[in-house]
Amino acid sequence: MKKAAWLIILSIIAASLCAYLLSSRSGRTVPGTGRVTIRYMDHADHFGVTPEIHAAFEKKYPNIKLEYIRTPQGGADRMHDKLVTMLAAGDSSIDVFTIDVIWPPELASAGWLLPLNEWFSPEEQQQYIPAMIDAQTVNGSIYGVPNLMDFGALFYRKDILEEAGLEPPKTWMELVEIARKLQQPPELFGYVSNFKADQQLMCEYFEFLYSNGGEFLDESGKEIRFTSRESIEAVQFMVDMVNKYKIVQPGNTTMSVDEGRAIFTEGRAIFHRNWLYVWSMSEYHDASKVKGKVGVMLLPTFKEGLNTSTLGGWSYCVSRFTKHREEAVKAALFLGGAEVQKVRALKGNRVPPMIPVLNDPEIIAEKPVYVDMAKFATRIRARPKSPFYTQISDIFQAQLQEAILMRKTPEQAVNDAAGQIKPLLEELEW
């Protein structure tokens, strides 16, 4: 009897273990049909185009079913941390996910992304905006299919400038002058920026830095260049915008990018640097108070001809841990392909990173502004490629904030950042 009791307990444990193993093995193939479900993680679908995309995919690949999983709330940093947690554990529950343009070096060198060379040929890659493909290429291998193009642009109030008889600014100093002249805080701020310590701050700094002729790292990515005079001037300008010219909204050191956007679309700012989504938020969103009053233009510069936009954007990658490699690759290529991009461009208000889609007559007729925006694309620069980029930028952001809050001089801040970043870059050579 004693043995019997033990036997029962053991068999219960064994049975539940078997059940668990079985369920995790075969859970996503429908038995007998060979039909596979591919789970992909993607941004919120504000305009409800997912069903159309799924239908088109399942028509093309009847044996594969797509399942959409939303990215976590709270921006790219949260998404990064979620992906890292999942991938570090070798989790195979998500086969395809969209990643920010700055993550490929980090995620690929950790061995979490599947190289797509076999399926994504150089000819196909040539159909995409080159900067987007370049960002997805690490040590000669391609890791992602671009699906959303983004870069910094200057949004401004056409109506206010016209009324004052002023032209949109070509240089940063012109912007400061116009903003100081026309602003009436707190009802109307001159310039809305995001100097909160996240990627946003880095992107805006890079735009000031590059348009002043500076560099962040050298070509090899192993030597620091951000302690140069050009870089210190760029930081000084950010400090002055806040403290000397006082054209930036209060709270710029804590506001997330979308809080800043809300100030602008509420009609409480003249200039706003943000990503392209602000266009659709100003023109099409119900809550916008600035419909038809907004202009979008290339970001100003310090030195002529150096206007620079930081590259943003997202691409579909395939998890190294997927159990359905072929199917997952098909899904990634399809989701980033021309058909889906056209749907997203027309109905989802997203700027496509694919040249044939941008040249599509229907797109040109329906969304002429995309063509204008694509013209800025020659001014795009990617952020430095490094497996340590997240860490480097976290260190740099904290120092930038110290400078903006005038707790350190710009020179001190960049040198302190260099002191912390240098040891990291040295390890790369190892």
Partner 1 sequence: MFSRTEALNRIKQQGLSQRQLGYILVTPALLLVGFVSVYPFLTTIWYSLHKIRLNLPAEGRPFVGLQNYVTLFQSGRFRHSLLITSLFSSAWVAVEFVFGLCIALVLNRRFRGRALVRASVLVPWAMALVITALLWQWMFNPVFGLLNAILMALKVIKEPINWLGTTAFSAYLSVLVVDVWRNTPFVALILLAGLQGIPGTLYEAARIDGASRVGCFVHITMPQLKHAILVALLFRSIDAFRSFDLLYVLTQGGPGRSTEIASLFAYKTLFQYLDFGKGSAATVIMALVTTALSIVYVTSLSSKD
Which H or E run includes 142? strand 141-142
Nearer to partner 1, 87 or 331 (CB): 87
For residues 148 and 364, the answer to whether their CB atoms sit within 8 Å is no
Nearer to partner 1, 338 or 395 (CB): 395
Nearest approach, Cβ of residue 315 and partner 1 (Å): 19
Nearest approach, Cβ of residue 250 and partner 1 (Å): 4
Nearer to partner 1, 55 or 405 (CB): 405
Nearer to partner 1, 289 or 303 (CB): 289
Nearest approach, Cβ of residue 71 and partner 1 (Å): 16
Nearest approach, Cβ of residue 388 and partner 1 (Å): 7
Interface with partner 1 (CB under 8 A)? 1-2, 5, 9, 77, 80-81, 84-85, 88, 106, 109-111, 186, 196-198, 249-255, 259, 262-263, 268, 387-388, 390-391, 394, 398-399, 401-402, 405, 407, 427, 430
Nearest approach, Cβ of residue 293 and partner 1 (Å): 20
Q: Which of 299, 353, 357, 429 is nearest to 134 (CA)?
A: 353
Report d(CA 48, CA 282) in Å as an integer. Answer: 19
Nearer to partner 1, 166 or 418 (CB): 418
3-state secondary structure string, 339-398?
Answer: HHHHHHHHHCCCCCCEHHHHCCHHHHHHCHHHHHHHHHHHHEECCCCCCCHHHHHHHHHH
> Residue 239, by phi and psi: left (phi above 0), alpha (psi -120 to 50) or beta?
alpha
- Single-letter amino acid, residue 269: A
Nearest approach, Cβ of residue 252 and partner 1 (Å): 8
* CA torsion, ordered 151, 425, 198, 284, to nearest 10 deg: 10
Nearer to partner 1, 38 or 417 (CB): 417
Nearer to partner 1, 62 or 250 (CB): 250
Residues facing 156 on adjacent strands: 271, 295
Q: Read off the DSSP letter of residue 212.
A: T
- Single-letter amino acid, residue 177: E
CA–CA distances in Å: residue 308 to residues 206, 209, 237, 383: 8, 9, 16, 11
Nearest approach, Cβ of residue 80 and partner 1 (Å): 7
Report d(CA 257, CA 250) in Å as an integer. Answer: 14
